[in-house]
Amino acid sequence: MVQFNAQPVDASFAALSDATRRGVLVRLARKDASITELADTFRMTLTGIKKHVSVLEQAGLVVTEKVGRVRTCRLGDSRLEKEAAWIERYRQLWAARFDELDNVVEELMQKEKARGRRKK
């Protein structure tokens, strides 16, 4: 059984505090990508995305390898980064649901207002 050690969790926590970096993990969970591809996906400069990848690499979440002129990024092999990517997908599912729920809540409030606030 793989242990869920506190230390790597702490180390990766800062890396995961940024939405772009979480997005990079989700992207890499689907498929390896070059720095250029990541920059395109996230509409960032090469320098900008390199900084994010570097933080993820230092936290041990991402591994990069340079072949010729292309640096390829992939998710590390341990359970931790797979888990981080999974939690981000789980979050995205709920976020998508809740964005729709916002509309339902707004509509119900308007209906209630129209009924003249009969309830409290």
Partner 1 sequence: MDAGRSETVVTNDTEADRRSERELVVTRVFDGPARIVFDAWTEPELLMRWWAPKSFGITFLSCEADVRPGGTYRFVFGHPDSEEPMAFVGRYLEVEPPSRLVWTNEESEDGAVTTLTFEERDGKTHLMLRDLYPSKEALDEAVASGSTNAYPEQFDELDVLLKSLQ
The answer to whether 37 touches 75, Cβ cutoff 8 Å, is no
Q: Quickly tell me which residue has 């936290």 as its tokens.
A: 59
**Minimum distance, C-beta of residue 87 to partner 1, in the bound complex (Å):** 6
Q: Which residues bind partner 1 (CB under 8 A)?
A: 1-2, 4, 17-20, 23, 30, 42, 79, 82-83, 86-91, 93-106, 108-109, 112, 119
Identify which of residues 4 and 54 has a Cβ nearer to partner 1 in the complex: 4
User: Which amino acid, one-letter code, is at 35?
Assistant: I
Q: In which region does residue 33 sit, left (phi positive, over 0), alpha (psi from -120 to 50) or beta (all else)?
A: beta
Identify which of residues 5 and 58 has a Cβ nearer to partner 1 in the complex: 5
